[in-house]
Structure 1
Amino acid sequence: MVDYEQALAILLRGVARGDSETVASAEADGRVLAADIVSPAALPRFDNAAMDGFALALRGRALAAGHELPVRGAIAAGVPAGEGGDGAWEIMTGAALPAGLDTVVPVERVDAIAGEDAGAPPIGIRLRESPAPGANVRRRGEDVGEGEPVLKASERLDSARLMLLAALGVTRVPVVRRPRVALIATGRELVDGGIADGAGIHDSNTPFLRLRLRAAGAEVVMEERVADDPVAFAAALDRIRERGVDLVISTGAVSKGRFDFVPGSLRARGAELLFHGVGIRPGKPLLAARLPEGPLHVGLPGNPASCAVGLRFFVEPVLRAMLGLPAERPLRLPLAGPAWRRPGLRTHLHARVTCDARGQLTVHPLPRQESFRLRPFLVSQAWLVLPPADGDDGSLAPGEIVTVYPPGHLDALGWTQTA
């Protein structure tokens, strides 16, 4: 048995960022950039009005309140501005500033001088106050300069970044290919949805893994279910091999019992067994192997909590490496109540996080966390990770600082506000 840090280092050895591909920006939400993005244009693209009003050419002059100016024309957004000149130009928000004009006076800070025709545009304006030179103008490149680096490789595209790309006119972006993952659920007891007869149980791990893997940035390309049969397991691996996957995840049959056939089947296939058994709780029987065809194989225990811990703390770090993301940095928060860990075992617990009126976050381990239980998943907001106890006393007192991870490596940590 190896400890967690040793196991993770072994698992990540040789894992590299995947190939890049180019996709439409509109379809790139959640994808990881494979290259830096340099702005192909300036933002704003041209000098424009920050609000509805009248554009003037002050050229450093001071115009006093009461000064009158003739209105020379009107400029709408999306219309080429052309040349300006003396006088005032009625202008709308976002409209290009005519050449030579340098200030916009808001419409509410002038009095319109009407012409003889009722309903016609004003023929002049009277200033209610002295305008500040350069006011209410958005200058070209004030937000983003042309040729300026704006996004870096390994950034994950979200609504803010995609908004920026859209404003710059970037319609296609280089992203890291999603890791391709295959799932194998083992066990003759597994049955499809409906009423499970006799000793059958429903396969809950596969739908959980499928959704969590997608949320973690992977593409699930194949799902298999086999009984406790090495021949059927080998056949499933043959089918998976043809799909060119990066990672194979199996559930169940990795412990030390007579029906736990996965380790022996992998050896018989010529796989390199990287480790089998890790000093963690839950999930100690977890194994990892390198298949002769190249992909990694992670064998997760069948109990739901053990399966979830293996996914979160072994598979997801592998996915981060394949996506070109840096190692994850957890939070450090104080315990709200006592916690307990075992000697020699790193402990992973479902937890809730609260924020009090002073803005202090604290973490609460949930009760009754045997590895078969599903109810803790319903209320859990985080994973609480405790290092192995140094001796026989594995207790931790309230207020001690502990390590906290969000539910998934790409998730934000949630919390509940308290009074």
Structure 2
Amino acid sequence: MINYTQALERLLAQIGPLPRENCVLGDAVGRVLAKAVTSSIALPSFDHAAMDGYALNAATPWAAGSEHAIYGSHAAGDALHEASQHEVGHGACEIMTGASLPEGLDAVIAVERTECLATGPTGMPTRIRLRDALRAGDNVRYAGSDVAPGAQVLSAGTRIGSAQIMLLAALGVATVPVVTRPRVAIICTGKELQSDPTHPLGAERIHNSNGPYLVAALGAANARVLACEAVDDTAVTYAGALQRAIEAGADLVVSTGAVSMGRYDFVPDTLRRFHAQLLFHKVAIRPGKPLLAARLANGPLVIALPGTPMAVAAGLRFIVMPALREMSGQGGEPAMHALLDTPQQPKAGLRHFLRASLYQHSDGQMHVTVTEQQQPFRIRPFADADVWVVLPEDAGDCPAGTRVQVVGVEPGESPRLRVAH
């Protein structure tokens, strides 16, 4: 048996970055950038008004109460003719938000900070008085003030969300280079598993919850799930599913169950018959100690998880997810910490993963309350949890107030944070 850090090092040493491909921007949400993106244009691309009002030349500041003739009007998207450019360069121009500044004008005063003194036949103001002083640069958005041409705007390894889509669209980016989505096959073992929930549950059968969980979690983590099979407790059916995963081109096979030391735990022997390189079998973690990882000759990685639900959830979060991040070039996750409200006495030599609720107290500090029911068969507390609390092998007794590491339950998403009452 090896410790968690050793297991992760051995696993990640087997993984290289996946190839990249081009992806149209509309399909890029959730994908991971394969290379940095630099801007080919300035953003904004021209100097323009930040609000509706009047543009003036304020190289010499104007005092409140100064009066100005209006020589034109300019809206966003309008072309400004040379004649009007000359006229407004000697006075003021009515201007709308987003409109380019006429040549010679360098400041904008909001319409509500002016007083209309006269209007023309169409009702358009022809003369105004300033209620505020005005200096050059007031209420102007300058070209390149957000993004300069040639600037790097997103780095490789960035997961693209809606905010990144907005930025890339504003820069006129149509396609982005992304890492190919990891291809994952799922194999759930156990003759007791019933995969079709529309049928009445048979005697001594259980609904297959591990399969749907893995499909959902891996899909949310940007993996492409090739198949999710449930097989009985025989090496033959497992080997058949494994062969199909290889032929489908899987980068990773995740299986559940049949990985311990019992008579029906056939996964280790089956992998040997596939001439797999065993990376480790049994890791000093709770839950999930019997976990196994192997590399198939000229084939995918295999991560075999115990079948108990929380062993599957912990193995997915703390073994499978780091492997997927490495394949996508994302590296490790940033560490988060909170203050423990419920004392813990973890067993020495094991890394414990505990389901918990995360709270923000009135002092702004994050606190975490470990759920009482930590048995690995219990699913309900996991569904209610916000985070995993990670207690290392040498944690010792952890009284209330201990600063502990917390990891979000959902891969790639910030944990839910409750407000303490």
The TM tier, using the shorter chain, reads over 0.9
User: Could you tell me how far apart the structure 2 residues matched to 1:405 and 1:184 are?
Assistant: 26
2:206 aligned partner: 201
SS in 2 for 1:310: helix
Name the CA shift for 1:72/1:371 in 2 (closer, same or farther; >3 Å).
same
CA distance in 2, matches of 1:277, 1:130: 74
* Matched residue, 1:298: 303
- Equivalent residues in 2 for 1:97-136, closer than 5 Å: 97-115=101-119, 117=121, 119-136=122-139
Partner of 2:397: 395
Post-superposition offset of 1:201: 1.0
Does the 8 A contact of 2:294 with 2:302 survive in 1?
yes
Output aligned runs, 1:34-45, within 5 Å.
34-45=34-45
Structure 1 equivalent of residue 29 of structure 2 = 29
Q: Which runs of 5+ in 2 are unaligned?
A: none
The residue that corresponds to 1:414 in the other structure is 416
> Of 91, 94, 115, which aligns to 1:90?
94
Tell whether the 8 Å contact from 1:76 to 1:91 is kept in structure 2 after alignment.
yes
Q: Does structure 2 conserve the Cα–Cα contact (< 8 Å) formed by 1:38 and 1:148?
A: yes
Paired position in structure 2 for 1:314: 319
1:350 and 2:355 matched: yes
Letter in 2 for 1:35: K
Q: Secondary structure of the equivalent of 1:9?
A: helix
Q: 1:68 to 1:354 in 2, by over 3 A?
A: closer
Cα distance in structure 2, aligned partners of 1:48 and 1:238? 62
SS in 1 for 2:355: strand
Residues in 1 aligned to 2:204 and 2:62: alpha-carbon distance in whole angstroms? 90
Asked if the contact 1:31–1:175 (Cα under 8 Å) also holds between the matched residues in 2, the reply is yes
Counterparts of 1:74 and 1:162 in 2: how far apart (Å)?
34
Cα drift, residue 69 of structure 1 = 2.6
User: 1-side partners of 2:307 and 2:113: how far apart?
Assistant: 71
In the alignment, which residue of structure 1 is the partner of 2:192?
189
Which whole-Å deviations, capped at 9, do the CAs of 1:306-327 have from their partners, x for residues lacking one? 1111111110010110010121
Q: Say if 2:281 and 2:291, in contact at 8 Å, map to a contact too.
A: yes
Q: 2:244 aligns with which of 239, 242, 245?
A: 239
Q: TM-score, normalised on structure 2? A: 0.94
Separation in 2, partners of 1:109, 1:333 = 49
Is 1:167 equivalent to 2:170 in the alignment?
Answer: yes
Shift of 1:358: 0.7
Q: In structure 2, the residue corresponding to 1:257 is in which secondary structure?
A: coil
Moved more, 395-404 or 10-19: 395-404
State the distance in 2 between where 1:266 and 1:116 align: 87
**Structure 1 length as normaliser, TM-score?**
0.95
1:18 corresponds to: 18
Q: Is 2:109–2:138's contact at 8 Å kept on the other side of the alignment?
A: yes
Q: Choose 78-87 or 143-152, whichever is displaced more.
A: 78-87
**Whole-angstrom distance in 2 between the partners of 1:235 and 1:90:** 75
Q: Deviations over 1:50-72 (max 9, x none)?
A: 111111123x2244444433221
Greater shift, 76-85 or 274-283, is seen at 76-85
1:81 paired residue number = 80
Match of 2:269 among 234, 244, 264: 264
Q: Report the Cα offset of residue 127 of structure 1.
A: 3.0
Q: Which residue does the alignment assign to 1:210?
A: 215
CA distance in 2, matches of 1:333, 1:64: 54
Q: Which moved more, 1:28-37 or 1:297-306?
A: 28-37
109 and 331 in structure 1: CA distance in 2 versus 1, 3 angstrom threshold: closer
Paired residue for 1:278? 283
Q: 1:280–1:130: structure 2 CA closer, same or farther, 3 Å change rule?
A: closer
Whole-Å separation in 1 of the counterparts to 2:185 and 2:314: 18
Aligned mates of 1:129, 1:278 — CA distance in 2: 70
* Separation in 2, partners of 1:134, 1:287: 64
Amino acid in structure 2 at the alignment position of 1:188: K
Q: Give the match's secondary structure for 1:29.
A: coil
**Aligned pairs, number:** 414
Mapped contact 1:81–1:99 kept (Cα < 8 A): no
